[in-house]
Structure 1
Amino acid sequence: MIGQKQIPSRAGGIEVAVEALSTRMVSEGHQVTLYNQRRSRKERKLNKEKGHQRNYRGIRICEVPVINIKGVSAATRSFFATVCAVCGKYDCIHFHAEGPSAMAFLPHRFGIRTIVTIHGLDWQRSKWGKFASWYLKHGEKTAVACADEIIVLSRAMQQYFWETYHRDTSLIPNGIEKPEKKEARVITRQWGLQKDNYILYLGRIVPEKGLENLIRAFLHVKTDKKLVISGAPSDTEAFYKKLQKLAEDDDRIVFTGFVKGVALEELYSNSYLYCLPSEVEGMPISLLEAMSYGNCCVCSDIAECVEVMGEYGYLFEKGNVKDLRNVLQKLCRTPKLIEECRERVSDYVCQKYNWDEITEKTLALYKKG
């Protein structure tokens, strides 16, 4: 598999999906190699590891070099990974995301079965410049031309590929496991957060997630609850500072930075509601996770969120700050609506989006040729 930055990691949805798939494939007796971005000497020293090959839960990890320049690092990582993979005598090479898929022509030319998962239309994301956007769109077109199978995560994306390229795709969404809820301890010590006293956003801090609209809406919500924004910028440090500036006069708004482990579990377990105001998504794993913890969720009305959430949450018009404020205000004033949503949402999402079933469908595509 090629396209993830690091495994293990929660840097993004791709990393979560790749780890979930590959660990299950290994447990079934398959040999899986992941091509990760090479870590720094400091990172390897912390883990007391040498070289650029290691094993993680039965998965072979190979690390490849990158040129650490915005818009270029991912391209160099996928180039070196693909060259190595073509020489690796694999039955199948699986690319994740549009950028890495620009290299799909190489295994295709050598007759190696090539699978591409499109996690989202990445060229639409506002953080990219003209060259990066062109390269991502080029990766999309290369996948259409060279991949034996293309996996998409939503019906909207499936429709896009048919209408744009007349290319058939396989709809295999991301999955989720039912988690164990945690009491608020770490998050209380670090940020003063307690059960049901905060609204949560958790994900990457990038413009297309609609976070500026969320903050502007929350500033006008009359409530004692806090707004917690958890996550790290992704080549978007200036945008992160802009959000902090926008929120600086309201002490209800808390920025936690990147979270993982127990702190992440506690944030999901104890939030009053989860809000995902995105304008662009592939299939939001953070939304699946929030629902799996039994959270009432508020999302923008883009097709990808509507498809995941179904009738188990609340929608607002994409980009409409006033509409978002009204929904948040209504739910803050009416806890009964939150409880009614919580009663059903976890069982629904965990049954519908099952990683074991998703892994079997993916393996079937590997073997189809």
Structure 2
Amino acid sequence: MAQLGRRLAARGHDVTVFCRTNYVPERLPSFNGIRLRHLPTVGTKHMDAIVHSALSTLAAMRERPDIVHYHALGPGLCAPLPRYLSGVRVVQTIHGHDDRGQKWGRAARSVLRTARWTSERVPHAVIAVSRLSAEEYGRTRPGTTVYIPNGVEAPQSSPPASLIQEYGLRPGRYALFVGRLIPDKAVDVLIRAFRELPGDMDLAVVGGSAFTGEHVALLHSLAAADPRIRMIGYAYGEHLAALYEHAAVYVQPSWTEGMPLTVLEAMSHGLPLVLSEIRGHTDLLAPLSPAARFFPPGDSGALAAQLGLVLRDLDAERAAAESRREWLFREYSWESAAANTEDLYRSLVAALR
């Protein structure tokens, strides 16, 4: 959102982003040309997104913008309000398959299935960031689904190794995972696999709870059995960039993914990849062969074997990963994403007029 918003603002558009006060403690009025509006919510697992989305929708409708743009399934439950009660155009970006996530119980999944149904019928246009979502929405709403993948930026500098040493890590001597600690990410599979590997390589797990405290406690208990596994928690800015920059390999064992930005970030730093063989990963890298070492999702033994192969010849693996960076920045460009989004906005507004 930040990358896309600032580029749209630079193209001369008035961009307003609604921020949750429990996520963003600062109350900046603007950032990179984007107007920020800070609205409250109910900070619980099931109410957080929908309450904030409802308040933001009502606030946006009062301002009568040309476009109201929702991101993800849950917030899109509010899309009927601007679609049918005002003259604005509604766009919804589908980032993943939230209605299939293991994080949610039966009732929440039912609500998200309703959100999926709404997303297939209410918005004037849907942006799919993954090829799988583009295929699925293309079947249910042909002609109004646009495939616009997210982008990635080339790292501007090399963060110092001292930033990772704060976590007890050594440059080039750790495998890395970055993401929310939710069941869908299968970090438990990664930890079990890593515990099978001999040697003094470490594992850095970067991320924290997303209203998943019980699952996070399980992961910490699994990690406690191996002193090589470091549960870092959330990291941002230079610290996160340093964790990518100085890692040996990036691992993502997810059960499901939409369009995984963390994989793009890892590739931007020239990291070898070990990924679960799911559409979110294979579609992302489809033109490249070989692009990564894949393993069947949930198979900790196969993950350990693929990770072991990478670690046995890191120099060759890193050289191959470096050779793919030029393709990456050409294929997944934020400038292209902003231009294509702008084109979509213009076509919707022109149709309205």
TM-score range, shorter chain: over 0.9
Match of 1:129 in 2: 105
Aligned-partner SS, 1:191: coil
Partner letter of residue 13 of structure 2? H
Residue deviations 1:50-79, cap 9 Å, x none?
Answer: xxx822222111122212222112111111
Correspondences of 1:149-298 after superposition (within 5 Å): 149-163=125-139, 168-179=144-155, 180-188=157-165, 190-298=166-274
CA pair 39-213 structure 1, distance change in 2 beyond 3 A? closer
Query: Is the 1:316–1:327 contact (alpha carbons within 8 Å) kept by the matching residues of 2?
Result: yes
Query: Is the 1:183–1:269 contact (alpha carbons within 8 Å) kept by the matching residues of 2?
Result: no
Residue deviations 1:95-143, cap 9 Å, x none?
Answer: 0000011111111112211100011110111111222212222122112
**Bigger CA drift: 97-106 or 344-353?**
344-353
Match of 2:324 in 1: 345
Match of 2:8 in 1: 25
Match of 1:368 in 2: 347
Matched, 1:107 2:82: yes
Consecutive unaligned residues in structure 1, runs of 5 or more: 1-17
Match of 1:356 in 2: 335
Give the counterpart of 1:325 among 267, 289, 304: 304
Match of 1:14 in 2: none
Residue deviations 1:243-266, cap 9 Å, x none?
Answer: 111121211101111101221111
Mapped partners of 2:235, 2:218: distance in 1: 20
Question: Displacement of 1:339 after TM fit?
Answer: 2.6
Partner letter of residue 269 of structure 1? E
Question: Displacement of 1:167 after TM fit?
Answer: 7.0
Query: Is the 1:120–1:281 contact (alpha carbons within 8 Å) kept by the matching residues of 2?
Result: yes
Query: Is the 1:231–1:258 contact (alpha carbons within 8 Å) kept by the matching residues of 2?
Result: yes
Correspondences of 1:75-154 after superposition (within 5 Å): 75-109=50-84, 110-154=86-130
Mapped partners of 1:324, 1:174: distance in 2: 27
Mapped partners of 1:165, 1:124: distance in 2: 20
Question: Displacement of 1:181 after TM fit?
Answer: 2.6
CA pair 167-232 structure 1, distance change in 2 beyond 3 A? farther
**Bigger CA drift: 333-342 or 223-232?**
333-342
Match of 2:351 in 1: none
Mapped partners of 1:117, 1:280: distance in 2: 17
Match of 1:66 in 2: 41
Residue deviations 1:172-208, cap 9 Å, x none?
Answer: 01100100332311111x1221221000001111110
CA pair 166-134 structure 1, distance change in 2 beyond 3 A? farther
Question: Displacement of 1:345 after TM fit?
Answer: 2.4
TM-score norm. by structure 2 comes to 0.93
Query: Is the 1:291–1:349 contact (alpha carbons within 8 Å) kept by the matching residues of 2?
Result: yes
Match of 1:308 in 2: 284
Identity of aligned residues (%): 31
Question: Displacement of 1:164 after TM fit?
Answer: 5.4
Aligned-partner SS, 1:364: helix
Consecutive unaligned residues in structure 2, runs of 5 or more: 349-353
Residue deviations 1:19-41, cap 9 Å, x none?
Answer: 0011011111110111111249x
Aligned-partner SS, 2:256: coil
Match of 1:36 in 2: 19
Backbone CA RMSD of aligned residues: 1.7
TM-score norm. by structure 1 comes to 0.89
Partner letter of residue 71 of structure 2? H
Mapped partners of 2:212, 2:263: distance in 1: 22
Question: Displacement of 1:341 after TM fit?
Answer: 2.0
Question: Displacement of 1:165 after TM fit?
Answer: 6.0
Aligned-partner SS, 1:136: helix
Question: Displacement of 1:335 after TM fit?
Answer: 2.1
Aligned-partner SS, 1:329: helix
Question: Displacement of 1:168 after TM fit?
Answer: 4.6
Residue deviations 1:246-304, cap 9 Å, x none?
Answer: 12121110111110122111110011100011111110011110000111111111111
Partner letter of residue 224 of structure 2? E
Aligned-partner SS, 1:309: coil
Mapped partners of 1:107, 1:175: distance in 2: 28
Aligned-partner SS, 1:315: strand
Mapped partners of 2:167, 2:31: distance in 1: 33
